[in-house]
Structure 1
Amino acid sequence: MREIGGYIELDRYALPMLHEGAVALNCGRNGLAYLVRARRIKKMAIPKFLCGSVSSVCEREGVEIRLYSTDMDFMPTDTALDPGEWLYVVNYYGQLGNDVLEDLAGKYGRIIVDNAQAYFQMPLEGVDTIYTCRKFFGVADGAFLYTDAMIEEELPRDESFERMRFLLGRFERTASEFYPKYAANNGLFAEEPIKKMSRLTENLLHGIDYGETKRRRTENFACLHEALQKMNRLQLSVADGAFMYPLYIEGGARIRRELQKDGIYVPMLWPDVLAVCGEGELEYDMADNILPLPVDQRYCIEDMEYLAQEVLRCIG
């Protein structure tokens, strides 16, 4: 029965939503699970430089995995695929442009592109591509998948209202107070089955000014790049609608701790890498010493100038 009357709920938004035509799911890792089932994937090569969620999905779905290395440009080192094997390509910090991805697709044929860090980079036609919403926007879940392979299962609809406390609390108080709930929310998706995106998340995504968000992220990245590129071991391009600014510098782990004392929170994105790789491997050093500096739409150029000054102070 349809309800009429009663108290007013959250407003419904109707702005155009980026990735409107893609398969809308509950989380990025289930975008991969969807592809594994739809493509009947049995073997996959995944990068060492990656969080454990991808390997966990593969284990859950019965996929045999093989680890490969990446170089300083975030490119896969030369690796030949076995028969029936797929290559999982991560677009780190949006640094792999579509021209590069097109070359990889031509070379390897069977690739999956992880654009979790490149939300504003549109997919290549005919290439399976995954996007994650909560890395870019104030939502508790959500992902988009571009593919022409469909599973025959009837997917249930996710619900997000129970997951919103850390976002609502962060809006009115401090990040540190609600960080444990944020971390707990991240942990939920390890066991979540494949579901359709929740109506709440979809509604929130319809309320975003994507043009302004993209502009701010791009300008903020460019500002940090101008200030810090001379000391950055990475050769970067300015990504449209950038995820974060990766500053790769000696002593990055120490600088991360120093910044935290001043209320500047710089994550270590993939601590799992330290257990997978040895200390002499490039991926170990990158995981430990890349500082992913925030450039998102909450901030302006003045914030970036302050952030750059604080980073330089800690360095020097």
Structure 2
Amino acid sequence: MEIGGYIELEKSNKKMLYADKILLNAGRNCLKYIIKAKNIQKIYLPYFLCDSVRDACKDEYINIAYYHISDNFLPKSIELQHDEWIYVVNYYGQLSNQKLEELHNEFSGRMIVDNAQAYFQEPVIGIDTLYTCRKFFGVADGAILSTSQLMTSELSKDESFQHMNFLLGRFERSASEFYGEYAENNKRFKNEPIKKMSELTKNLLNGIDYEFVKEARTTNFNYLHQQLKDINLLTVTKVEGAFAYPLMIENAAEIRKQLIAKKIYIPLLWPNVLDDVEEDSLEYQLALNILPLPCDQRYGVKEMDIIVSEIMNQLRL
């Protein structure tokens, strides 16, 4: 124990959301944790999914099958055998807990829910559910797992201090200046073993005003929905504390390009899907033509109006 010396980051006395759950270092490692704890041998994954989830399953040497989703993001035509599991993604928080409970019953309890895009949607009791902190907050790592089945092996604790530079830089300078470091940080999880959440990440999460974040994201989402619902090819339900507003339009790739030129950064989520499925499939169209519009706690109606105006200007060209 050291006494004295220079002062480090302040410690928060608040309590993070889901503090009573299993706190890990990465979302994909939450899945690995469940696979190990429940000895899963085969899992169904949606075609519309980040390749990191598939890679995590391959790392655990389990059998993988794939399923299609419908236009309301629900699994299509799946009948599980007694030793099979299904991985259900709560895309943009569009699956309510009632719907997740219905699916859980339909699949006889052998279901894992990915709430990486629905941080403020509390887990349903009895349903294995995972969350990713980086998609909602300014942290370099961190994930939450809600499950009743514990691994028997002891986990080491992660450390995050070496991975914070892109966040510190982004605080005082532009995002583009540190994008390379941000991308490298994302890549490192490919080889990261399952670890407990770092003390640094936990402390940062303890200091967040979750009600403010939730309210800001909800307000921004609702504003975007009010302005864009008539041109949205998706039927979108309102979400509390939304990840992003999913606007599906034709020619989204060109509009994304023009928005980025205006320094409105709209990601192409899961570009691997464009290589994994046929061009006439629903999954291909979802991956290509959904613009996940930012609606997070850094912004208000002013910024949302800028986004809407630029989109409408591009559509009129």
| Class of the TM-score when normalised by the shorter of the 2 chains | over 0.9
1:51-81 CA-partner distances (Å, limit 9, x unpaired) = 1011101100011111100111111112111
1:233-274 CA-partner distances (Å, limit 9, x unpaired) = 111111000000000000011100000110000000100101
What's the counterpart of residue 215 of structure 2? 215
The aligned runs of 1:1-316 (5 Å cut-off) are 2-109=1-108, 110-316=110-316
Name the stretch that deviates more: 69-78 or 190-199. 69-78
How well do the aligned residues superpose, as a CA RMSD in angstroms? 0.6
1:204-228 CA-partner distances (Å, limit 9, x unpaired) = 0000000010000000000000000
The separation in 2 between residues aligned to 1:277 and 1:315, in whole angstroms, is 28
1:15-39 CA-partner distances (Å, limit 9, x unpaired) = 2210011000000000000000000
The separation in 1 between residues aligned to 2:15 and 2:192, in whole angstroms, is 28
| Structure 1 residue 83, shift from structure 2 partner | 2.8
| Structure 1 residue 277, shift from structure 2 partner | 0.4
The separation in 2 between residues aligned to 1:11 and 1:312, in whole angstroms, is 44
Helix, strand or coil at the partner of 1:186: helix
The separation in 2 between residues aligned to 1:3 and 1:15, in whole angstroms, is 24
For 2:15, give the aligned amino acid: P
The separation in 2 between residues aligned to 1:230 and 1:258, in whole angstroms, is 21
Helix, strand or coil at the partner of 2:45: strand
What are the ranges of 5 or more consecutive residues in structure 1 without an aligned counterpart?
A: none
Helix, strand or coil at the partner of 1:75: coil
The separation in 2 between residues aligned to 1:48 and 1:228, in whole angstroms, is 27
1:190-212 CA-partner distances (Å, limit 9, x unpaired) = 01000000000000000000001
| Structure 1 residue 305, shift from structure 2 partner | 1.1
Helix, strand or coil at the partner of 1:129: strand
For 1:118, give the aligned amino acid: A
The separation in 1 between residues aligned to 2:286 and 2:16, in whole angstroms, is 34
Helix, strand or coil at the partner of 2:283: helix
For 2:120, give the aligned amino acid: F
For 1:54, give the aligned amino acid: V
For 2:259, give the aligned amino acid: L
Helix, strand or coil at the partner of 2:55: helix
For 2:275, give the aligned amino acid: A
The separation in 2 between residues aligned to 1:186 and 1:314, in whole angstroms, is 31
Helix, strand or coil at the partner of 1:230: coil
What are the ranges of 5 or more consecutive residues in structure 2 without an aligned counterpart?
A: none
Q: Which segments of structure 1 move beyond 2 Å, counting only runs of 4 or more? A: none
For 1:63, give the aligned amino acid: I
The separation in 2 between residues aligned to 1:30 and 1:222, in whole angstroms, is 33
Helix, strand or coil at the partner of 2:145: strand
For 2:269, give the aligned amino acid: L
For 1:138, give the aligned amino acid: G
- The number of residues matched between the two structures is 315
For 1:199, give the aligned amino acid: E
For 2:266, give the aligned amino acid: V
The separation in 1 between residues aligned to 2:125 and 2:17, in whole angstroms, is 16
For 2:157, give the aligned amino acid: R
The separation in 2 between residues aligned to 1:29 and 1:81, in whole angstroms, is 23
Helix, strand or coil at the partner of 2:6: coil
| Structure 1 residue 315, shift from structure 2 partner | 1.6
The separation in 2 between residues aligned to 1:84 and 1:161, in whole angstroms, is 41
